[in-house]
Structure formats: structure tokens, C-alpha cells
Amino acid sequence: MPSVLTVMAGLCGALIVLLAAWRREWEVPLHAVAVTLLGVVVWFADDRFWWLALAAVATISASFWVAITRGRRRVREAESRTDALASQLDRRISELFSLQELSYVLSESIQLDRIVDQVARYAGRFLQTDGAIVVLADDERAHHLRVVAATGTLVDLQGRTAEEADTGLVRFAISRERIEVAQGVDEPTVNLVAGATVRSAAVAPLRSQGVTMGALAVADRQGGPFTTEDLWLLSTVATNASVVLANSRLYEIVRQSKEEWETAFNALTEGIAVVGPTGAVLRANRALAALAELGESELVGRGFCETLFGTSEAVEELISAAYHRRRTAPLVARLERTQRVLRLTAAPFADQPGRSASAGTGPVVILVEDVTEQRILEAQLIQNDKMASIGQLVSGVAHELNNPLTSIAGLAELLLEREPHPDFPHEHLRVIHDQAERAGRIVRNLLTFARKGVAEKSAVDLNDVASRTSLLIVYELQLHGIELEMALGQEPVVVLGDRYELQQVLLNLVNNAVHAVSQLEPGRPRRIRLETALQGGMAVFRVVDSGPGVPPHLVSYLFTPFFTTKAPGEGTGLGLSLSYGLVQAHGGILAYEAPPEGGAEFRISLPAYQPPADRPAAPPPLPGARRECHRILVVDDDPAVHRLVSALFTPQGHVVEAVRSGVQGLRMLRERDFDLIVADAMAAAGPTELFVQALATHRPDTCSRVVLGVSGNGDLPEPGPDFGVRRVRKPFSLRDLNALAEEIFASSPPRSPAAREGH
């Protein structure tokens, strides 16, 4: 019996110890069983079985020893895990602080260069690597990669590019859009980018809003291979960097767009203003600031209407209509200071949701166009149309006047060549001749003033220009009781220019002087003085009047287009500006001065011209001299011209035949030949063809023997032939006509009558 109990007690104790060592969670129940077993043994056992109690105590002690040993081991394991967790926690906290520091650094700047440099530097420090790079794609498909930042051992890669064929780890990570790691070996065998090799590397794509911008790469970790925590940190840095880089690119796009918009805004030649509800300028471009003669910053905040136009109800109404969404026609206004003509167009800036059409609370955009030159061109076109109409009218009148004046002046000149008659002294004939010449000059001046065509520069005597202009304004001067004083130089004051343009300039100045002097009160002297002189190689022309003069504050605007001190409807403000341009085109200066005695003085200064010395011309032979007989054809619709030419050449022994149309003249030339043809330039040979044009087409050999009588400036009708045709002004000067005839007769000697009739 004792042996059985001993065996059972030993087995139970061994089983309890074994189970306590095997399963840690059974320790407490096994301890309870062992204590219960000990109690039972002590209760039932007697002194003979004391060893049973000793065995139970040994079992319990062994179980407790196992538990204590296991507890100590668990404590050591817990402490080890606690240390590891604390170390990991410290690293995480350090990483969080580092990421926070990187966030602060990245938030300090939005410039791309600074951002990528900070990302590369901090990534290398966080992951304890020898080098780091940031690679960006030049396009959205990442075909071309460029290293924009590099630190540590990879600094030599700064600025290097990689084409699409590159097989580096960076290209691989970007194409797969995930983190790629290459641990490598002790030797640099990992192809990172653009042929650069490293021992180990980790690459994280930089991706934001579905677009891969590039990659962040670190190489050669100092503490061994890259861990999962390293890759997590790299991913976090790359994510933050992607957001900042995307913002930087967006900012750059916005900045570039803003610069382009501002460049275009300021490059416009038209002024643009954004005007607020109070009428103040919120934004203005450079063109508007130039019109206002202020800086762009100075213009902002000022009242638009008050700054440019002063008090203008029309401008205020235009802006008010735009505030209330009403479309109005463009407004034309004039700047007070510079007298520039502007066209204003106003429109609401933008429709805002929820705002009624009558609520004028939004800004207004005003377009300001400088139409001064346009108005000048329009006025010039209108003036050209007027002058064209006047020219056509004057040409017709001049043609009708020149024919009788030709007869009067020519016959008077013929009579003056004869011996004086007691009953008809030469003085009366001289008066008739001079007055006919005067009437002819007046007609020519009218034609000159209405003349069209390209300016032709030639030697012009300003004394002659002054004399001709005075004939055009004599009636106006007499009407207003104005005295005209002529102080012309003793010698010719010659310049190289266009006679008609210079006469137009002088006429504009004299008309302005007449207007100024005619406004004087009765009793005050009304004088206009024309002066010419040569001063230091310059030809000077002065127009001085005794009028009120020009106020000093308006002198700077005298030559500005459309500036005028005349009442509305009395002037366009273009006379002085056009005159200034014409004088400047002649290489001269038109200036204003205020004489000490009062009034106004306009001075024209032009380079003087010294004409070449002419050879002395042989005097034409007198009409009564004996000459060879020549056949002369006169083509003119005025019989008086026939009589005049016949009276000139018949006494010399020449044969004169006359016809009244170009058609008859061509027929006469087909029947016989003529040594001289005197024809009116406007004689017609058909519905659309002039006689001289038909002659150049059908009988060009006769053009060298033609003398054309031209009214006005002496130009042939267009298109005009150029076959040696000579010209003479109407009314004829018989000496000029006779000299041309002698020149033609000398160049083509008379032929036999058979040759003339047999053509």
C-alpha cells in the first residue's frame, strides 16, 4: 500500500510540474491542485507516511520555482520589448519632427529650385544615406528626365538629363509608379539614372493629381540595407514633396499667366481702366497712364472722369449707363491738357449671380482709344474730297476764263509791239495787258490751291509765294479793314520745295492772322505784315499780326491737331498742325513768338537754296522779223485763240490753219504735215481720249512739234505721253509761245511743199 501511494504521489507531482512547465496559463490551476493534494495527504496520512507530505511540498515548491523562473524570463522579455518600442517610438517621434521641419522649410518658399534642393537635402539626412537626388520630367509623359537637385556623393549628377532609352532605376520606378529598391553589393553596380551607378538605392515616384512629375532617389544607406521603416519614410517625404512641387508648378503657371496678361494689358496701345462703383480707378494700363500723364500707381484710386476730363457730364453718363447694364454708343471726348481726341467705350466687368440688372455695384471696364490721328485722316479725306470738287469746278472755270484772257493779253501784247497811235497810247494797252496778266495769275493761284498730286520740289522764291498769296486774300483784308504790309527781301529768297505746299502753309498762317485781327475792338490798329529775309543760310518768312496773341498756357498746344481757340463751327484745328508737318517735311521749322509790341508772330525757317547760274538766253526775234515759211495747225475750241495765234504768226509769213476739235486735228494731220501744232491740252479726240494722247498713239513722230496750252499747274492729263511735247501756260505769253516755235522750227527745218502735202 505505501508503495502504491508513493508511486501515485510521485506521478501526481511529476505531472503537475510537467504541466506547469509546459503550459504557462495552467500554472495557477495546477498550484491549486497541488495545494489541495497536499491537504488531502496531510489529512489522511499518519506519521508513517510523512514522506508523502514531503513529496507534496517538494512538488509545490518545484511548481513555484518553475513559475518564478518563467516570470523572470517574461519580465526580461517585456523589458526588452519595452526598450525596442521606446527606441522605435523615439525614431518615429524624430521622423515626425523631421517631417514637420521639412514641412516648415517647404512652406517658406514656393520657388521650384529651393524646394527641390531642400527635399534632396532632408531626404538624405532622414534616411542616413550618402547621397540623394530629385529628378523631374520635362513633360507629362516623362520622356525626358532632368536632375534638378543633388546632394552628397551624387552632387555631380546636378543638371544631367536622361532620355527615354535610359534603363536606370529612376526610370523604372517612374514607369511602374511605385517605390523601387535595389540593395546591391559592396561594389557600385546599381544603375541609378543617366549611367550613374551606386551600391544601393531606393526611388519613390513624385506623383500628384494623377500626374507623375519625377522621382526622389536616395543611395548608399550608411546603416545597412533599406528597412520597411526607411521606405515608409521615403514614401512620406515623396508624398509631401509631390504636393509642394505640384503647388509650385501651379504657382509658376499662374505667375507666368499673370505676367503674360499684364504684359498684354500694358502692351495695348488703347488705354484700359477698371473703375469701381465710386468712380475711382481700380486698375489701369500703361497707355492710360501715359494719356493721363501720371504713373500707373498714381492713377489708381483717383476719379476716372475728374483725372482725365475734369467735369464732364457725358463721361459720367457713359459710366453710369455701364453700371446699370445699359449699352450705349462710344463717346468721343477731348483731354483738357493735351487736347487729344479720345473715344470711350464702357461695359460692365462681369455679370455676378444674384445681382439685379439695375444694381450698379460692380466694376466697369472702360476702353480709351486715342483717335486723334484717325480724326486727322478723316478730316484730311473730307478736305481732299472738298478740294477735289473745288478743283474740278475751278478747272472748268479756269479753262473758260483762260481762253478770253489769252486773247486779251496776247492781242494787247501784239499791239504793244507796234508803233504807238496818237489816239491809242501805249499806256492804255499796258493797263489792259497788265490786268489780263493779273487775272491770269489769280486763276493760276486758284488752280494751284486746288491742285492734287505728288509734291514736286523745285527752286521757289518766297517773295513770289508771298505776292501770289496776297492776291488771294485781298478781298478778305478789305472786308475787315485790315492793312497788309509787305516787307520782302531785296534779293530773291529761294528755297527748294513745293510751291503749292508752301503757299498752302502761308495761306493758313495769314487766314489765322486775319481771324485774330478781325476780332479787335473798333479803333485798334489792324495790321498784318509779311516779311522775308536771308539769315545765316536760312530763308526766314514771318507772318506778324497786331491781334491779341496767344495766351502763354496755350502756346504748347498750338500745333496739336484739332486744337483751336475759335468758336465752334469756325475752325477744325487742323491748319497749324498740317502747316507744321508741311514745313517739317521741307526740312524747316515753324515756330511761334510773342513780339514785344504785342500780337503774334509765326516764323518759318527753311534751308536757303542757291540756284545754279543760268546761261544767258538769246532774245526771241521780234514778231515782224522775216523768217522761213512754216505751216502751223491750231487745235482749240475757242475762235479767239485761233485769231491770236494767226495774228502772231501770219505777219511772220507762216501759214496758220485752225480747227475746233481733236478729231478734226487728226484728220488734218492725216491729210498734210505741219511744222508746228498748237493745241489745247484738253482738246478731245473721242469720248474717252484726248487729242494729245491720240497723237502719241497714231503720230508719235509729230509729238516733238507740239505745243500744249495748259491751264493751271502745267501737268499733262494722266496718262500723259512724254515724247518731247512742250507746254505753255494759258493765258499765253506771246514771247514764250514765239520762243518755243523758234526752238521747234530750228530743230526741224521746213520741208518742200510737196513733202508737206504728200504725207
Lowest mean pLDDT among 51-60, 452-461, 657-666: 51-60
Percentage with pLDDT > 70 across the chain: 73
CB atoms within 10 A of CB 486: 13
Residue 179 has pLDDT above 70, yes or no: yes
The predicted structure's pLDDT at residue 90: 65
Residue ranges covered by each domain of the chain:
2-80, 114-254, 268-370, 453-607, 631-757
Mean pLDDT within 631-636: 90
Residue 553 has pLDDT above 90, yes or no: no
DSSP code of residue 189: -
Mean pLDDT within 575-584: 81
Mean pLDDT within 466-470: 84
CB atoms within 10 A of CB 557: 17
pLDDT band at 457 (very low <50, low <70, confident <90, very high): confident
Query: Under CATH, which architecture does the 114-254 domain have?
Result: 2-Layer Sandwich (3.30)
Residue 722 has pLDDT above 60, yes or no: no
What does the block give as the cell for 227? Answer: 528597412
Mean pLDDT within 495-499: 87
Residue type, 700: P
Cβ neighbors of 661 (< 8 A, separation 6 or more) are: 635, 637, 683, 684, 685
Collapsing DSSP to helix, strand or coil, 349 comes out as coil
The predicted structure's pLDDT at residue 622: 44
pLDDT band at 495 (very low <50, low <70, confident <90, very high): very high
Is pLDDT larger for residue 620 or for residue 663?
663
CATH number attached to the domain at 268-370: 3.30.450.20
CATH number attached to the domain at 453-607: 3.30.565.10
Q: Is the separation of the CB atoms in 405 and 731 below 8 Å? A: yes
Is pLDDT larger for residue 223 or for residue 281?
281
β-strand pairing of 676-680 with 631-635: parallel
Rounded alpha-carbon distances, angstroms, from residue 573 to 64, 380, 507, 663: 124, 12, 15, 50
Fold match, 114-254 / 268-370: yes
The Cα–Cα gap between 577 and 564 comes to 10
Is pLDDT larger for residue 202 or for residue 622?
202
**Ramachandran region, residue 341 (left: φ > 0; alpha: ψ -120 to 50; beta: rest):** beta
The predicted structure's pLDDT at residue 682: 82
Phi, psi of 171 (to 5 degrees): -60, -40
The answer to whether the predicted template modeling score (pTM) of the entire model surpasses 0.95 is no
Q: What is the crossing angle of helices 372-417 and 426-449, to 10°?
A: 160
The Cα–Cα gap between 330 and 321 comes to 12
The predicted structure's pLDDT at residue 721: 46
User: In this predicted model, what pLDDT tens digit does every residue of 20-39 receive, in sequence order?
Assistant: 666 666 666 666 666 666 66
User: In this predicted model, what pLDDT tens digit does every residue of 331-378 receive, in sequence order?
Assistant: 888 876 777 888 888 888 765 554 544 455 678 888 888 888 787 777
The predicted structure's pLDDT at residue 50: 53
Tell which CATH classification among 1.10.8.10, 3.20.20.70, 3.40.50.2300, 1.20.140.10 matches the domain 631-757.
3.40.50.2300
Lowest mean pLDDT among 122-126, 313-317, 441-445: 441-445
The predicted structure's pLDDT at residue 385: 72
Collapsing DSSP to helix, strand or coil, 273 comes out as strand
Q: What angle do CA 399, 404, 410 make, to 5 degrees?
A: 115
Residue 616 has pLDDT above 50, yes or no: no
The predicted structure's pLDDT at residue 203: 92
The predicted structure's pLDDT at residue 754: 45
**Ramachandran region, residue 194 (left: φ > 0; alpha: ψ -120 to 50; beta: rest):** left
Q: Is the separation of the CB atoms in 712 and 395 below 8 Å? A: yes
Please, what is the average pLDDT of the chain? 77
Lowest mean pLDDT among 267-276, 545-554, 618-627, 742-751: 618-627
The Cα–Cα gap between 644 and 646 comes to 5
